Structures are given as structure tokens and as C-alpha cells.
């Protein structure tokens, strides 16, 4: 049993939700490279163009991607997406939730609409995707789910109270669901991304915060979305059969300091 086979996803089907984001895009490519069949679904409607680009990357990685543009915040969409994935993939073995909508601003200025919006886009979407994915997986005897959250799940940062709250909730949602479904064949784990080098990251701007932050990072650089790939592949592969309710930070040692 040569080791690379421990991590092979040949014959597995994976659904990546939030594939229009840099992290979701990288996740789709990683799992395709490892041999999985792929369905990519969006977080927001109106993302046809982005998803088509991701589908192209997936196909360069050797897999055909089925594209599903949806609103991950709508129950009917989340439900139909899980069913579609199971049908297209011949069973939903792997679900990756790369759902995220970063939101920064002073707490005093946040109204109730902000609360609902931030919690819905960062937490409710993940909850519904887990529920609907698990509905399909439980029927088939199991599966594996990875929720991508942030190192902010366990640390605070100013001007992001609701975002931090939602990210922390995703982490603990992952733990609790992992325990609930542990004996039903579903493993759930999280990945906590450090400060990301992607288009939506506040760390990736030319400003004072970003400059100071880089000096503070243990290896002075941001995390590239594709660098989450190793942790993702390990967690979804059969090699991690005894790993559930766990979270892996990909942050270049940032969390070891704070």
C-alpha cells in the first residue's frame, strides 16, 4: 500500500459550496487533482462567470465539474444542490463549505440588518449546507464534511465582532455536529485559514493595517488559498478515518503566538 494512495480520492464525489471565492476555487482544484469528481456550487447568485472559470480550472486538473449557481442562504437551493450533487456524483462522499462574506466596521454603527446579514452569510449558510449534505449522506451510510472557517474563530479582532462571532460559531457547529453524527458515519472537521492572500482580504490592501500585520506574521507573509489544500485533502481522505471534530489552522504559526 504505497502512501500516495492513502490520499487518493479516486471514485469519490465532492461538492464544493462557495466555489466563486478564492478558497472554494482552490479547494475544487485540489480535490480534482486528487481524483475526485466535482460539483461546484456558488454562495451567491449571479456568479455564473466565476463558476465557469473554476470549472475550467477543474477540467485542467483532470475532472469534469458540474456547475450549480445558487443562493446558499436559501433552504430550497441548498436542498436541491445536495440532491443534484448526489445524483451527478453517484453519491455525495465529500462536502466542502467554503462559505464566507467578510464584514468589517465599528460595532456602534452595525444595525440589526447587519447582524442578520453577517450571521446569515457566514453561519446560516454553513448550517443549512451541513444539514442538507448530511441528509443525503446519512441515507447512503456516511460521508465527510469540511467547513472552512478562520483563525478568527478563536481570536477577536477590532471592527469585526459579528464576523468573529460567526466564524467561532462555525467552528463549534463543526464540533457539535461531528459528535452527533460520529456513529452515523459522517466525519466533520474544520480548517482555520490565517490572513488570506485573496481579493476580498483586508490584509491584502495597500494600507497601514496590512503593512503592520505582515511584520507581525511569523513568516511575514499571507496564506495563499491553495495552501489550504494539503489540510483539506488529508481531512477528506480515508487516511483521516479517526479524525473528527478537529480543526487545522493553516496560518504559518500565527496562532502559536496569540
Partner 1 sequence: MILDSLKLDDRVAIITGAGRGLGRAMAVKLAEAGADIVAAARTQAQLDETADAVKKTGRKCLIVPTDVTISAQVNALIDATLKEFGRIDILINNAGGGDGTLGKQLPDIGDDDWRRGIDTNLSSQFYGCRAVAPQMVKQQRGKIINVASGYGLRGGKHNFMYACAKGGTIQLTRSMALTYAQFNIQTNCIVPGIFPHNEEMMQFFKGGKFIPIGRVGDDSELGPLAVFLASDASNHINGELIAIDGGGLAGGITPTGVSPESSN
The DSSP call for residue 17 is: E
**Count of CB atoms situated within 10 Å of the CB of 160:** 21
Asked if 215 is part of the footprint of partner 1 (rule: CB under 8 A), the reply reads: no
Q: Select from 45, 60, 180, 209 the one that contacts partner 1 (CB under 8 A).
A: 180
- Report the catalytic residues: 163
> Interface with partner 1 includes 229 (CB under 8 A)?
yes
Interacting residue with partner 1 among 53, 105, 131, 234 (CB under 8 A)? 234
| DSSP β-bridge partners for residue 65 | 38
Q: Are 123 and 169 in contact (CB under 8 A)?
A: yes
Phi, psi torsion values for 164, nearest 5 degrees: -60, -40
126 binds partner 1 (CB under 8 A): no
Taking the C-alpha atoms of residue 214 and residue 5, their distance in angstroms, rounded to an integer, is: 37
Question: Which residue matches cell numbers 482555520?
Answer: 192
Query: Per rule CB under 8 A, is residue 251 in the interface with partner 1?
Result: yes
Selected range binding partner 1 among 52-60, 124-132, 154-162, 244-252, rule: CB under 8 A: 244-252
Cell of 73: 442562504
Strand residues in the chain grouped as ranges (E): 13-17, 37-41, 65-68, 94-97, 143-150, 186-193, 247-250
Shortest distance, position 136 Cβ to partner 1, whole Å: 21
Stretch that binds partner 1, among 66-74, 99-107, 153-161, 181-189 (CB under 8 A): 181-189
Considering beta carbons, is residue 107 or 258 the nearer one to partner 1? 258
60 is a contact residue toward partner 1 (CB under 8 A): no
Question: Contact between 245 and partner 1 (CB under 8 A)?
Answer: yes
Minimum distance from residue 78 beta carbon to partner 1 (Å): 24
Amino acid at each position: 500500500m504505497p502512501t500516495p494512495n492513502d490520499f487518493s480520492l479516486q471514485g469519490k464525489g465532492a461538492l464544493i459550496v462557495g466555489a466563486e471565492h478564492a478558497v472554494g476555487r482552490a479547494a475544487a482544484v485540489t480535490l480534482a487533482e486528487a481524483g475526485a469528481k466535482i460539483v461546484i456550487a456558488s454562495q451567491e447568485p449571479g456568479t455564473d462567470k466565476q463558476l465557469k472559470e473554476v470549472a475550467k480550472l477543474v477540467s485542467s486538473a483532470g475532472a469534469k465539474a458540474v456547475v450549480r449557481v445558487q443562493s446558499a442562504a436559501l433552504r430550497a437551493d441548498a436542498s436541491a444542490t445536495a440532491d443534484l450533487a448526489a445524483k451527478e456524483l453517484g453519491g455525495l462522499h465529500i462536502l466542502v463549505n467554503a462559505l464566507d462574506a467578510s464584514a468589517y466596521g465599528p460595532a456602534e454603527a452595525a444595525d440589526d440588518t447587519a447582524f442578520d446579514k453577517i450571521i446569515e452569510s457566514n453561519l446560516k449558510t454553513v448550517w443549512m449546507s451541513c444539514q442538507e449534505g448530511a441528509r443525503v449522506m446519512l441515507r447512503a451510510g456516511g460521508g465527510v464534511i469540511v467547513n472552512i472557517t478562520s483563525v478568527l474563530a478563536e481570536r477577536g479582532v477590532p471592527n469585526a465582532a459579528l464576523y468573529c462571532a460567526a466564524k467561532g460559531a462555525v467552528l463549534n457547529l463543526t464540533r457539535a455536529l461531528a459528535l452527533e453524527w460520529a456513529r452515523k458515519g459522517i466525519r466533520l472537521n474544520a480548517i482555520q485559514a490565517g490572513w488570506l492572500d485573496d481579493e476580498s482580504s483586508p490584509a491584502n490592501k495597500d494600507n497601514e493595517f496590512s503593512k503592520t500585520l505582515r511584520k507581525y506574521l511569523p513568516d511575514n507573509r499571507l496564506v495563499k488559498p491553495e495552501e489550504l489544500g494539503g489540510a483539506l485533502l488529508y481531512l477528506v481522505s480515508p487516511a483521516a478515518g479517526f479524525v473528527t471534530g478537529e480543526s487545522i489552522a493553516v496560518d504559518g504559526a500565527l496562532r502559536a503566538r496569540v
